Amino acid sequence: MRSTVWVTVSSEQRLPNMVADEPTFARLMIGAQDGDKAATNVLLSEAGLWLERYFRRRVPPHSIDDLVQDVLIAFYSKRATWDQSRPFLPWLAAIARYRWVDHLRKVYKHEGQELMDDDAVEDSEEEVVMARVSLDRLFGQLPDRQAEVIEMVKISGLSIREAAEKTGQSESLVKVNIHRGLKKLAMMVEKAD
């Protein structure tokens, strides 16, 4: 029987463009499912790098590490659900997207609460995440009135009142349009294949 020796490399030691390929991931994952510590360590490091790339195009830099850690924990705790007859990376991507949507949902809930409290003027960095996600592609699918006010309030930092004056919508309507637009964005991300 051929044995494999996995070499552990910390994230600081890696070259930026080195990421394992599908067969390597699959072999490491089989080892991880069998309880091989070295394989698990290398797998988690490689998956971390892959996830970093995955989220780099989707969320602001300051949120990437939190999400990567979140997915690594989810991935580790659900490792039994990977079927060896299927490719590994779509499995990992599905978990990454699920945690991403979960992250968006939390931001959205926080967002909705704030709009209800009539206190949407001061945005925290975290709240802006929602509005920045794949904006060009996603905003194209929102009604203009919703995209317009989300962009003004959540990206440009205008107050609800200023957005209302600029767009000619009432303040209540601006809030409703932001609320519905953000909800629709979260749904679009969730349903996208």
Partner 1 sequence: MDKYSNRDDLIAALTEDVSPVKRVRSSDGVALIAFATIIAAVVSIAVYEWWDGLLTGEASGYFLITHGLLLLLGAASGAGVVNGAMPRVGGQSSAAFWGALMVGVLPIGAALSLLSGHGNHAHEGLNDPVALMCLTGSLSAAAIVMVASILWLRRGAPVSIERSSWLTGIAAGALGTLAYGITCPLDTFSHVGLWHVAPVGISAVIGRLVVPPLIRW
Binding status of residue 33 toward partner 1 by CB under 8 A: yes
Out of 11, 113, 170, 172, the residue judged to bind partner 1 by CB under 8 A: 11
Question: Which tokens sit at 101?
Answer: 């949507």
With CB under 8 A as the rule, give the number of residues binding partner 1.
Answer: 40
Rounded Cα distance between 13 and 7, Å, is 12
Rounded Cα distance between 154 and 142, Å, is 15
Q: At a CB cut-off of 8 Å and minimum separation 6, what does 12 contact?
A: none
Query: Nearest to residue 160, comparing CAs of 110, 103, 117, 121?
Result: 121
Compute the least distance from the CB of residue 146 to partner 1, in Å: 21
Binding status of residue 4 toward partner 1 by CB under 8 A: no
Binding status of residue 56 toward partner 1 by CB under 8 A: no
* Unique residue bearing structure tokens 């067969």: 23
Question: Based on CB atoms, which residue is closest to partner 1, 47 or 178?
Answer: 47
Contact positions with partner 1 (CB under 8 A) in 118-137:
none
Site map for partner 1, 67-86, x if CB under 8 A?
Answer: -xxx-xxx-x-xxxxxxx-x
Question: Based on CB atoms, which residue is closest to partner 1, 65 or 165?
Answer: 65
Residue type present at position 119 = D
Q: At a CB cut-off of 8 Å and minimum separation 6, what does 100 contact?
A: 55, 58, 59, 67, 189
Instruction: Kindly report the three-state secondary structure assignment for every residue of 94-110.
Output: HHHHHHHHHHHHHHHHH
Compute the least distance from the CB of residue 141 to partner 1, in Å: 18
Out of 19, 24, 36, 135, the residue judged to bind partner 1 by CB under 8 A: 36
Question: Which stretches of the chain bind partner 1, using CB under 8 A?
Answer: 10-12, 32-37, 40-41, 44-45, 48, 65-66, 68-70, 72-74, 76, 78-84, 86, 90-91, 93-95, 97-98, 190, 193
